[in-house]
Structure 1
Amino acid sequence: MATTLLPYLSPSPSLVAVIAVFFLSCAILVHECEGQQAKALPPAGETCSGIFISYDFLTRKKEYPHVKNVTAQSWAFNSTATVLNTGKEVVKAWKLFIEFQHDEILVSVGGGNIEEATEFPASVGNGTTFVGGSVPDLDTAINTAQDLSQIQAIIQLIGTQFGVKPPTIPMPKTIKLVNDGYKCPKPTTRKSSMYACCKKDPKFKVTLKKTKFLARQKGDLLISYDVTQVFENNYMVQVKMENEHYLGRLDHWNLTWEWTRGEFIYSLKGAFTREIDSGSCISGEAGKYYKDMDFSMINCQINPILSDLPPEKYNDTELGKIPNCCKNGTLLPVIMDPSKSKSVFTMQVFKIPPDLNKTSIFPPEKWKITGILNPNYKCGLPRRVEPARFPDSRGLEATVIAISSWQIVCNITKPAKGRSRCCVSFSAYYNESVIPCNTCACGCENENTRKCNPNSPAMLLPPEALLVPFKNRSQKAVAWAKLKHFTIPKKLPCADHCGVSINWHVVSDFKGGWSARLTLFNWLSTNFEDWFTALQFKKTPRGYDKAYSFNGTTIPTLNHTVFLQGILGSNYLIALDNSTKPNVPGKQQSVISFTKKYSPNIRIAKGDGFPSKVIFNGEECSLPTRFPVRSGNQTSVDLAYQLLLLALAFTFTQLL
């Protein structure tokens, strides 16, 4: 018997060679892939009595284009991060910070979310914080009989990174748990793994809380998701939006989110879905479970789009009758009209297995809200907060407490260059030329750049050119350049492509004050009701005196921002008139006076009389980078040139 087995126990030389080649090839490939699977829990994790965190680099592959410059070469990578509760206390709303350092761009995150709720692809080269998704808390092994699905979160990361040539493994600089009350040591790195055991900080002073919920946060736009009734397979929820920013605004808002557990909207009051789509219900899990349900008037989209009802639907018993609904999607700042700063709707949400009990409620994620020529809002993740309180709908002196509540905080973000939707032109009584809106101020995606130059500075204009569309304006710009002997580029600059433009014209400058004229131009086919404009000045924040054709005030808490809106009867900025040749924009205008009492040394002609920020209906407008100057030979002075002169002057004084 032993003799029979000997041939199998004594490998032939050829077999040894094959095995050697196999392991050698794996050793070579590991330089390209850096490991093929996640590592098992290290001994440090077994002995950790707290929160064990880890990062495991799994694989990477060279991406196109292949370049010789190592730092410019991109790699597709795959890694995982783990948060494991090995302690005795429940971890509420865990937060894991990973300090990436190789210009990473994430294209997919599973098992968690980026705290800032950034859309993909997301640039995280300087690090980012990850939080839980539908289940943000980590229970203990004691409470769950060590059910890993309840005590552990595994985050799958897929993305792109740059500049690390094999065999070096591109690891993050550090990882740490950033929850209050926890302290993490410097993580240990072993090849493609990084881990640490975070423990309770004994010096951390615990603030006693009345509830187990997270504190409500402040933000520019606050959304409340308040569950008011629960049943085994569905629940009623009220969604409330509150405009908390002095200059924030939404017109004809569209709200969307993403269901994560197969939920669908059965009915709505105070709002409506843009599409009635029952296809995914009928062909999906909902159709299998609710076999007798009529899905014909139901929205089953994972990402539904909801809009506000018009005012005439307020008294509709089927669609309306909800306080603070039916305002045609208008959310105004409190400073304009507190009654129009809130919007509310209710809906009935049905669930599918396995969430068929009264306590299994998961709010939707990836909230996003947009309007027409309004600021860009970036919304965070839903946060479980103390249940909201409502007045009794029966008119009794009683308070109704929600069953559960989540808060979604949305903040205004500054538009990127070329992403504005309004722009500003500058002019003054002491200069004949108008400095127009910047080239491609609101984007040039659809522009034929063969016919125009998107990178060329806008050409100076005669004042009357502001009243005509851009296609007619180019001829006037060329004629004006010839008349004034300005340089005419071979390829003319592209248009600004903005729906609303604003002209700021300095009218006068005298010893005790100065004045300017603000003109609004609406180039869109949409009327703007209850419009507003806000202005901020660096050198004259407290100089505002009076607006003659607008209602004007200042907001001291916002650097004395000048807030302007139309007077009663003139609060409409009408749409573009297409019946004329050329088309005539809607227009509003007022002279505004300022005093020099608080800034007697300002120099209007040097740029102090021009706003540093202009906002229309909450949207920050694109500003020119130069000002009109008093000199007859020099038509404008560039802001960068001014800064250069200041830098040279400072350097010269230091040398002296």
Structure 2
Amino acid sequence: MEAVLIFLAISALFSNAVAYDPLDPNGNITIKWDVISWTPDGYVALVTMNNFQMYRHIMSPGWTLGWSWAKKEVIWSIVGAQATEQGDCSKFKGGIPHCCKKTPQVVDLLPGVPYNQQIANCCKGGVVAAYGQDPSAAVSSFQVSVGLAGTTNKTVKLPKNFTLLGPGLGYTCGPAKIVPSTVFLTPDRRRKTQALMTWNVTCTYSQILASKYPSCCVSLSTFYNSTIVPCPSCSCGCQHKNCIQKDAKVLTTTGVNTPRKDGSPLLQCTSHMCPIRVHWHIKLNYKDYWRAKIAITNFNYRMNYTQWTLVAQHPNLNNITEVFSFSYKPILPYGSINDTAMFYGLKYYNDLLMEAGPEGNVQSEILLQKDQNTFTFKQGWAFPRKVYFNGDECKMPRPDDYPHLPNSAPKFAERPLQQLLFILASLFWALQMV
């Protein structure tokens, strides 16, 4: 048990400090450029963004991909995406490029665009699923025709300074690196073709880059103690001065739930000031099993969380027997240690976590088989070690504040008045029996 408390203390010290995620050590977003043909002054490339993160996805309003050209390249055209600005194309006579900026930024197209503007895996509004949740939707692509770029492998220069931007996106991208050319299968899958040139860019996530403060917190309760341990005060910072009381009249105003372009929240006033609270309740105890309830509450009036994910780390998660109203998948960050689970909503049922209000919550229960060698309700063992929502680590209460078992009350020296009252009451009842 001392080891568990030491682990929690160390986690608190180093939480959110680095980009490396110990629960998803190989997670990243890889952007691949495949030159598929040469043009008179450049090339046509297929750009593919693969999300290899197990439980972190890109939500609406989606990704913005930027870079710096190495020379004086321009974008003649794009299929499946568009540049946010055209830039100064005044030197061109006749045909005008799609974008002439030295540092273009490209965004995905929205669903429903005409078919001739689409390619495979495009046009999802920049939304990219987590690989562990839906591998088929963890990819986004567009095709770009680049001019003034060189027309051979030796004359083409790789773009620089890649950025992956968007509200809540804290990614750092490395330099482009030439890799072995991608091999493609023709539509009939009977013939292989090969890219003329391929380079990769790897982007890794850092929560501290995404936000100065956590974006979620955890509260705790049990069946054996009436104490409800709330999220720590100002878990997500108390910088949002314009919070709203849950019964405020302004909530009936048209458009109050409309998201802002910068992703700024409109939070319900709470002591923790977090957009998301995760509540873990130890519900029942059986001879060979125990049962926990998980509830996720949204306190942001401007945000619907689609394709949300919840990750919990606990040593007994290797013995999950049943999950009642969430989807579930084990996460194996260390190969053989199965102590981490990812939960997410059932499609068309609870995969959409509505904005703050009566519908702004989802919940489930999990049934776990006890490991008789380690299972205990003492010292907060039954509470999770870490909780992540949408890939961001949530602020946990201090272990000292966890609900105690009835027979593990604080010592006499800690609460002398309560102990004295208990002794006096015992003496009173003893005298009554004489």
Asked whether the two chains share a fold, i.e. TM above 0.5, the reply is: yes
**What are the equivalent positions in structure 2 for 1:426-505 lying under 5 Å apart?**
426-447=220-241, 471=245, 495-505=271-281
- Cα distance in 2, alignment partners of residues 496 and 470 from structure 1: 14
User: Displacement, 1:356?
Assistant: 4.9
In the alignment, is residue 533 of structure 1 matched against residue 333 of structure 2? no
1:369 pairs with one of 153, 164, 177: 164
Deviations, residues 179-220 of structure 1 (Å, cap 9, x unaligned): xxxxxxxxxxxxxxxxxxxxxxxxxxxxxxxxxxxxxxx752
Q: Structure 2: state its 5+ residue gaps.
A: 1-17, 19-25, 248-268, 411-434
Number of aligned residues: 357
Change (3 A) 1:259 1:497: farther
Q: TM-score, normalised by structure 2?
A: 0.72
SS in 2 for 1:311: coil
Change (3 A) 1:261 1:412: same
Contact 1:249 1:333 in 2 (8 A): yes
- Cα distance in 1, alignment partners of residues 161 and 123 from structure 2: 24
Residue of structure 1 equivalent to 2:96: 294
- Cα distance in 1, alignment partners of residues 165 and 288 from structure 2: 44
Residue of structure 2 equivalent to 1:316: 115
2:193 pairs with one of 400, 403, 408: 400
Q: Structure 1: state its 5+ residue gaps.
A: 1-122, 124-217, 449-468, 474-492, 578-582, 637-656
Change (3 A) 1:311 1:414: same
Residue of structure 1 equivalent to 2:53: 245
- Cα distance in 2, alignment partners of residues 631 and 607 from structure 1: 9
User: Displacement, 1:444?
Assistant: 4.2
Q: TM-score, normalised by structure 1?
A: 0.49
Deviations, residues 256-305 of structure 1 (Å, cap 9, x unaligned): 222332323221111223x23323x43xxxx2xx344435xx23333333
SS in 2 for 1:542: helix
**What are the equivalent positions in structure 2 for 1:196-345 lying under 5 Å apart?**
220-251=28-59, 252-273=62-83, 275-279=84-88, 281-282=89-90, 287=91, 290-295=92-97, 298-313=98-113, 316-317=115-116, 319-320=117-118, 322-345=119-142
SS in 1 for 2:112: helix
Contact 2:27 2:54 in 1 (8 A): no
- Cα distance in 1, alignment partners of residues 76 and 409 from structure 2: 63
2:380 pairs with one of 584, 592, 607: 607
Q: Which amino acid aligns with 2:143?
A: T
- Cα distance in 2, alignment partners of residues 230 and 528 from structure 1: 42
Change (3 A) 1:553 1:403: closer
1:506 pairs with one of 278, 282, 291: 282
Pairwise CA RMSD: 3.3
Q: Which amino acid aligns with 1:613?
A: K
The share of aligned pairs that are identical, in percent, is: 26
User: Displacement, 1:407?
Assistant: 0.8
In the alignment, is residue 562 of structure 1 matched against residue 338 of structure 2? no
User: Displacement, 1:389?
Assistant: 1.5
Change (3 A) 1:226 1:495: farther
- Cα distance in 1, alignment partners of residues 235 and 100 from structure 2: 39
User: Displacement, 1:380?
Assistant: 1.2
Change (3 A) 1:500 1:439: same
Q: Select the structure with the greater relative contact order (CA < 8 A; seq sep ≥ 6).
A: 2
2:213 pairs with one of 413, 419, 430: 419
- Cα distance in 1, alignment partners of residues 54 and 271 from structure 2: 31
Residue of structure 2 equivalent to 1:630: 404
Q: Which amino acid aligns with 1:596?
A: K
Contact 1:255 1:369 in 2 (8 A): yes
- Cα distance in 2, alignment partners of residues 633 and 470 from structure 1: 41
Q: Which amino acid aligns with 1:529?
A: T
SS in 2 for 1:238: strand
Q: Which amino acid aligns with 2:182?
A: A
- Cα distance in 2, alignment partners of residues 391 and 530 from structure 1: 31
Deviations, residues 517-565 of structure 1 (Å, cap 9, x unaligned): 111112332322332212111x424232211121223234554222212
- Cα distance in 2, alignment partners of residues 585 and 303 from structure 1: 42
Q: Which amino acid aligns with 1:368?
A: T
User: Displacement, 1:382?
Assistant: 0.7
Contact 1:225 1:363 in 2 (8 A): no
Deviations, residues 82-124 of structure 1 (Å, cap 9, x unaligned): xxxxxxxxxxxxxxxxxxxxxxxxxxxxxxxxxxxxxxxxx9x
Contact 1:573 1:587 in 2 (8 A): no
Contact 2:53 2:132 in 1 (8 A): no
SS in 2 for 1:540: helix
